[in-house]
Structures are given as C-alpha cells and as structure tokens.
Amino acid sequence: MHIVILGNSTVAVAAVEAIRSIDNMENKITVVSNEPFFTYSHPLLPNYLVGEVEEDEEKFSYRRKGFYEQNKLNTILGDAAVFIDKNAKTVELKSGKEIAYDRLIVATGGIPIVPPMEGVNLENVFTFTNLTEVKKFKTALPNIKKCVVVGGGLIGTRLTEKLSIYGVETYLIELLERLVVLALDDYGAGLIRKELEKAGGHIITGDSVKSILGEKKVCGVKLASGKEISCDAVAIAIGVRPNMDIAKNAGLEVGRGGVITDEYMRTSDPNIFSGGDIVETYDLTSNQRRSIPILPIAYAQGEVAGLNILNREVKFKGGFPMNSMKIGGIEFISMGTVNPEKDAEIIERKYDNGDYKKFIIKNNCLSGAIFIGDIEKAGMFNWMIKERFNVKRIKDYFLKEDFGWKYFDRDTRNLRISRQLK
C-alpha cells in the first residue's frame, strides 16, 4: 500500500510512528511538505527567532537525525500539494508532479489569520506559524528597533517577551480587555501582563490595529482608537485557521472548525484521513466541535489515523485545549474550558508564595483548570478531565499543597497505580 502524507509535522510523525510500529516496513510512505525542512519543533519558533536555539541543533528538530531513513520514508520537501483527485486517488504537486496513493493523510495544519487591513503586504509584516516565515523575520531582526505584535494570545505574548528581552521595543496590541483570553482568567492574565511589562514590553488592551502604515516598508501602525505607533516591523499573531482549501477543493466535507472526520480520523472520503490543526475536534469540556490547534491533539489524531489506515479500529474520542507556558518568572499550565458559564462550580486559591490554582467543575466532572507556579501535579487533573472522573469526593483536596494519590480512596489509588484502571 502507498500511504501519502501531506504535511511534515506532528500528525505526519505520529502517523509514521504508528504505522511503523505494526507494519514491518511493508507499506510505502511518502511525506510531502511545502516547507523544505527536516521536521521541526513549532513551539521553539520564538526561541529560534531570537537566537536561543539554531536550526541545526538537535533540540530544534521534532525527531532525531535519521528519522526519515530509519522509517524508510520517501520525502518530497519544498513542493506543495495543490490538488487532490479523490476519484483517481492522486495528488498533484506545485512542480507538476503527480503522486498516486492508496491512502492519504491530509495534515496541512493551520495558517495564520491575517485580517484584511491596509498595509498587510508591506515589507516587514510577519506571521509566526512556520519556519519559512520566521526565517524572514529572523533575517530582518537585527535591523528592527521597534515592533508591534498584533494579538495577545499565547503566541503573541511569548513573542512579545522574547522580542523585549532581545532588545526590540515591543508593543503588544490586544483587541480584548485582557491577554491570553482562551487559556487564562483575569487573575492569570494580569500576572502575565506584569511579567511582559517587567521584560520591557508595552501592552495595549482594548484596542486594535486598523492599518499598517508605510510606503514600501512598515513605518508604523494606526490603532482603532486613532493612536499611531511608529515601528519598523509588525508581527501578526492573532491565531491560526485550518489550512483546508486543498481539502475543500477535493470535495471533502468541511465545517467551520476544519475538515470533518469521524472518530477514526477518516474524512468523508474513505481513503483519506486527516488530523491536527486542519480538522474539527470534539471538545470534551465544551461539548462542541471546533478547531483545537495544539500539539498533543495533533499527535493523538495522527496516531489514530495511521493505525486505522492499517485497519486497527482505534478511536479518537475527543480532546480539549491545554497549554504549558513560561513568561518571565511565571510558569503556568491551563487546560479545558477556563472561562466557564455561570452554573459551574469554581474552586480557587491564591497561595502566599504567589502560586494560584483554579478548578472548574460541572456535574461532578472537572472541565477546566489553571495552575500558576506549582504545576507538577497538573497532569493528574488532565486525566480527570479526560476520563470524566467523578470528583465529588476528591475535589475538597484539590487546593492542598500536597495534593496527590493519597487523597483518593484506596481502591481507586491502587488500581490506578498498578495500571489496572484507565
């Protein structure tokens, strides 16, 4: 069987690892990517931009050297897929090349959301989701003194921190009244804001960039409030949307949040699978299908797609947002739905040492959590969300500094620790 994977990141690697774990190298696998690079670690892009890690360092790669050879992959890197003919089972590439497949995995990821405003095509306007773009930014960086970052989400805040420390005078513009809206609450976002300001960043909330100013190159931005900020670069970090034109044009079913798949990660075409930032994912904490563009979900979906191509009947039942970040002196992990509707029960505590924990509970199930500072037990709560664990008897202990398995009932604890309870 010839398995073709469009994409060379998390989903592709996960699918390859899943397939090769059971197929004795019997299938031919071809990985196609528009970017000409060895699979790399997207979360390290901000570090790469400011020179904390270089492209040739092992830690920048998503897998170790030799990954393609060890897994006997054919790679076509630097040539984009432009059309899928699902009836003929072929993929046409930009170069004109045509590849026939038996099974296809469409994992073309996300593309940055760029608002249609005046000046977005000027020189020194950058996006931040792939290495190709970040390389351009990095090349220009030595000559950038002042930068405006558009969007105060996870990427925008990290970028603002890195640029500020690097020595670029950075202005972060966020439309809403606070930062990191999806992953933090007011209190947590306030701490992040302080850290960014400590690093030298200028934070403007409740305002937006209306247009980017300049002749050929960026020379400033104009905000909705009328204020103008001079700058020599603009980084757009509003978020990503599914890069799904190719799926749409192939006639695959798509929804608002991305390509539609079943629990086996199969699209509306039985020979085509998908996963990662391009698909709509069932959110176990909000009970909605939506885009959840995070690495752990991409891996899980890629793995399931790979296994099901070999008819293993494995399901991906859903996921939820989760993030781990460090901004200045603040480490935080958040998961699930952290800004709940009114009927949810909230347990929270600010600790004397500056730590903070918050848990959101609905119908005796945990649906969201925030950990600031003390994060080491966060995964136990991740498990509780995922398994819809009934927290009625354990929730009173959630805020204890020494929270652990000792607070669970004896049977649950022993079954879990001996790996006999999922």
Shortest distance, position 383 Cβ to other proteins, whole Å: 4
Question: Beta partners for 223?
Answer: 209
C-alpha to C-alpha distances, 39 to 310, 368, 385, nearest whole angstrom: 24, 32, 31
Give dist(CA 12, CA 33) in Å, integer: 10
Q: Tell me the window of 115-123, 138-146, 230-238, 408-416 that interacts with other proteins (CB under 8 A).
A: 408-416
**CB of 73 or CB of 250, closer to other proteins:** 73
Shortest distance, position 234 Cβ to other proteins, whole Å: 27
C-alpha to C-alpha distances, 133 to 251, 270, 361, 376, nearest whole angstrom: 29, 34, 40, 34
> Which residue blocks in 204-339 are alpha helix, DSSP H?
245-249, 295-309
Kindly identify the residues of this chain, within the stretch 200-229, that bind other proteins according to CB under 8 A: none
The verdict on 394 binding other proteins (CB under 8 A) reads no
Q: Tell me the window of 54-62, 99-107, 146-154, 246-254 that interacts with other proteins (CB under 8 A).
A: 54-62
Kindly identify the residues of this chain, within the stretch 350-379, that bind other proteins according to CB under 8 A: 375-379
The verdict on 322 binding other proteins (CB under 8 A) reads yes
The verdict on 417 binding other proteins (CB under 8 A) reads yes
The verdict on 198 binding other proteins (CB under 8 A) reads no
Give dist(CA 264, CA 311) in Å, integer: 10
- List, edge to edge, every strand of the sheet that includes 345-350: 322-327, 330-336, 365-372, 356-362, 345-350
The verdict on 4 binding other proteins (CB under 8 A) reads no
- List, edge to edge, every strand of the sheet that includes 28-33: 73-77, 28-33, 2-6, 103-106, 272-274
Q: Do β-strands 209-214 and 98-100 pair in parallel, antiparallel, or remain unpaired?
A: unpaired
Q: Tell me the window of 52-60, 134-142, 171-179, 194-202 that interacts with other proteins (CB under 8 A).
A: 52-60
- The neighbour count for residue 417, using CB atoms within 10 Å, is 11
Which of 300, 307, 327, 361 is the binder for other proteins (CB under 8 A)?
A: 300
**CB of 126 or CB of 381, closer to other proteins:** 381
Which of 38, 62, 128, 356 is the binder for other proteins (CB under 8 A)?
A: 62
Shortest distance, position 297 Cβ to other proteins, whole Å: 9
For residues 332 and 188, the answer to whether their CB atoms sit within 8 Å is yes
Shortest distance, position 146 Cβ to other proteins, whole Å: 27
Give residues in contact with other proteins (CB under 8 A). Answer: 14, 41-44, 47, 52-53, 58-64, 295-296, 299-300, 303, 322-324, 326, 331, 333, 335, 375-380, 382-383, 402, 404-407, 413-422
